[in-house]
Amino acid sequence: MTAQLGKTETPSGPLPAKKSNGKPGRPKSKYNRREALAGYLFISPWIIGFLVFTAGAMIYSLVISFSRYNLATNVATPIGFANYESLFTDPRIGVSLGNTLFYATLAVPLEIAFALVLALLLNKVGTGAGIFRTVFYLPKMTPTVATAAVFFLLLNGNTGAINQGLRFFGIEGPQWLVDPDWVKPSIVIMTLWTVSGTMVIFLAALKNVPRDLYEVASIDGAGPVRQFFSITLPMISSSMFFNVLVLSIAAFQVFDQAYLLFWRDQSNASPEASLFYAVYLFQQAFRQFNFGFAAAMAWLLFVIIMVITLIQARFGNRFVYYEGDR
Amino acid sequence: MSSSISTPITQAQPAAAAAIEPDAVKKLPPKKARSNDDNFHRPRSPITRVILYVLLIGFSALFMYPFLWLLAASLKPKGQVFDNLLIPRTFMPENYVEVWNQLPLLNWMFNSVAIALLAATAVAISSSLVAFGFAYFKFPGRKILFALVIGTMMLPGAVTMIPVYLIWKEIGLLGTWAPLFAANLFGSAFYIFLQRQFFLGLPRELFEAARIDGASYWGLFWRIAMPLSIPSFVIVFLFEFQASWNNLQSALIYLNAGGVEDFTAPLGIAYAMTRYSPTAGGQGDYQYVMVASLIVTLPMLILFAFGQRYFIEGIASQGRKG
């Protein structure tokens, strides 16, 4: 027993115990068997979940994507690459990908800019910052269904409050939910209303920028604009990178808003323009029960998201300043 | 990425536990040497300050408007819901009584609360267990396995959506609550990451002292790590509660084929939108959709009123993992 206790006092885990790292005379094996076993037991829920719901499901998904799945008999008949070939022949794949890409390119920069402006304002304000932050954050707490139920009416081309407001300034607003050109901006408006999650991440980063940098810069005569581009932006670049990545991935999987505003029932006035990739995938899987084709679609989405991540990681590494890098 | 946390405490007394506890939430952000007080960036000139407040109040109005609009619309009679007036011409507080007869809202709320409680409890406990395994113990493959945990965060849900559906179908649990929470029993990557970061911030001496006093591994987890990690446990719980409350897609997949009274709140509102929507040839009583939307939002606002700092801290910590 005592011998074992002696062992546990040696650095046996990743927790901070740096002081003894260099000590000679460790136990012969790198691992304490009892401890290793306990470790596996603690992580076993995740291992089981991973094997069934992630790894197992991924393999199964791959198999299904090469099959025609019969839901009644639960039999997957191999059909080779047919589902992947359909990805190229089905025109709605191209349409939905185009829509999704268009939405992402519109939404992500606007979300980043808006969130950053809000965070900068909050960072500037002393008194009342907490109240404003709470107000800005409330939309994020609102369930998407409730947001959609309200914006469904606010965006109404004839009676909606948004067009009524525009009319006040003499602008005749578009038919947001009907005109194919304005379908995606509608969803962007809804998304911008709930941008505060991104804002909070920026705000945390802004609060971490050392103030002496600004002091030195002011002494050197740098104005606020110069300070923003030379100090603030580089110092928050890692959270900028994170936000762009997360928002892009989310934009590529946009579903709830599109479903609630357009695909809930048969009344969709612009089925072409509002067909997002995740919506089409959902329809193929759980309305048409084309499991094979839908699985192939899911793998294409997987590849697209991987590519986006890799490009942004490559790109990001060049511009992101990490503290500690010299 | 863990460099931001550790503030090693030198004395190894278990009493140190009590000393860390109170502002343990504040331990999550990096404790780097920085002296940003809240007023540093405040503009000096009064004109800039006026502009700043005008902007902030303007944005606040934009963010609050849909809430006020919703509140007003929920109190209007059928014909006036679309009139965009923030003070109803005719007040119809009866809407708040009638909505319970019009829609099985009570069932939806009950289903959603129960599922959210199950989902949040399951994921908070299982993720803590797994996180402690990764944080405290040393075993072969630990680094690779943890990298796998992080890797699963990148996986789009669509890839596993169909096989997981088939698994639940095979077990015969389609149409039950199980698919909406049971996968949470196995932990979830981001929460495991969050809890592990927190555990890594605890001084290791604490655990070694407890070992010498004869505590089992389970005891280390249950009596030391868990009580100390309550703040991050709460973050995980609240986040998952909100995520579950918001979850439309799973409800669409698993509950849409069943009876209306078995719906969750999001699925129910979506159903009500169609049922009352004037454009879909519905009955047009959209005020009930407004009342129901407001009622479904309320629990989240209450949650936020009590747990605001956890939500903000939880979100901010997401940015820090990058």
Tell me which CATH homologous superfamily contains domain B94-320.
MetI-like (1.10.3720.10)
Residue A265 CA to residue A261 CA, distance in Å, equals 9
At residue B14, φ and ψ (nearest 5 deg) are -60, -20
Q: What residues 210-239 of chain B have any CB closer than 8 A to a CB of chain A?
A: 211-212, 217, 221
Strands (E), A120-254: none
Cβ-contact A159, B82 below 8 angstroms: yes
Strands (E), A28-119: 67-70, 75-78
Cβ-contact A185, A103 below 8 angstroms: no
**pLDDT surpasses 90 at B7:** no
Structure tokens at A199: 């804002």
Q: What angle do CA B297, B53, A219 make, to 5 degrees?
A: 125
Residue among B249, B56, B66, B30 at smallest CA distance from B158: B249
B142 interfaces chain A, CB cutoff of 8 Å: yes
Instruction: Reduce the DSSP state of residue A27 to 3 states and report it.
Output: coil
Taking contacts as CB-CB distances below 8 angstroms, the residues of chain B near A36 are 137-140
Residue among B261, B232, B267 at smallest CA distance from B246: B267
* Residue at B147: amino acid letter: A
Residue A316 CA to residue A321 CA, distance in Å, equals 9
At residue A16, φ and ψ (nearest 5 deg) are -60, 110
What pLDDT sits at residue B24? 40
Predicted TM-score (pTM) of the model is: 0.86
Q: What percent of chain A has pLDDT over 90?
A: 68
Neighbours of A167 (CB within 10 A): 11
| pLDDT, tens digit (0-9, with 9 covering 90-100), for A112-121 | 999 999 999 9
Residue among A138, A83, A121, A118 at smallest CA distance from A284: A83
| CATH, domain A85-319, list 1.10.3430.10, 1.10.3720.10, 2.60.40.10, 3.30.365.10 | 1.10.3720.10
Taking contacts as CB-CB distances below 8 angstroms, the residues of chain A near B65 are 161
Q: With bands split at pLDDT 50, 70 and 90, how would you rate the model's confidence at B79? A: confident
Listed in sequence order, the residues at least 6 apart from A325 whose beta carbon sits closer than 8 Å to its beta carbon are: none
When CB atoms are compared, the residue of B65, B167, B200 closest to A14 is B200
* Residue at B293: amino acid letter: S
CA atoms within 13 A on the CB side of B80: 16
Taking contacts as CB-CB distances below 8 angstroms, the residues of chain A near B81 are 153
Structure tokens at B206: 């604490």
Taking contacts as CB-CB distances below 8 angstroms, the residues of chain A near B126 are 45-46
What pLDDT sits at residue A9? 40
Residue among A63, A134, A111 at smallest CA distance from A244: A111
When CB atoms are compared, the residue of B161, B297, B319 closest to A298 is B161
Listed in sequence order, the residues at least 6 apart from A83 whose beta carbon sits closer than 8 Å to its beta carbon are: A65, A66, A67, A292, A293, A295, A296
Structure tokens at B283: 């009955």
Which residue would you say has higher pLDDT here, B25 or A311? A311
Helix ranges restricted to H, B15-104: 16-20, 24-27, 46-74, 95-102
Taking contacts as CB-CB distances below 8 angstroms, the residues of chain B near A202 are 319
Listed in sequence order, the residues at least 6 apart from A279 whose beta carbon sits closer than 8 Å to its beta carbon are: A96, A255, A258, A259, A262, A263
A121 interfaces chain B, CB cutoff of 8 Å: yes
B71 interfaces chain A, CB cutoff of 8 Å: no
**Which of B47, B128, B138 should be substituted to probe chain A, the one whose Cβ sees the most A Cβ atoms within 10 Å?**
B138
A284 interfaces chain B, CB cutoff of 8 Å: no
**pLDDT surpasses 50 at B16:** no
Low-confidence ranges of chain A (pLDDT < 70): 1-29, 322-326
Structure tokens at B267: 């699925």
Helix ranges restricted to H, A125-182: 129-141, 144-154, 161-168
| pLDDT, tens digit (0-9, with 9 covering 90-100), for A25-70 | 454 567 889 999 999 999 999 999 999 999 999 999 999 999 999 8
Taking contacts as CB-CB distances below 8 angstroms, the residues of chain A near B187 are 45-46, 49
* Closest residue in B to A251 (Cα–Cα): B156
Residue among B188, B207, B197, B185 at smallest CA distance from B229: B197
B113 interfaces chain A, CB cutoff of 8 Å: no
Long-range CB contacts (within 8 A, 24+) of A21-26: none
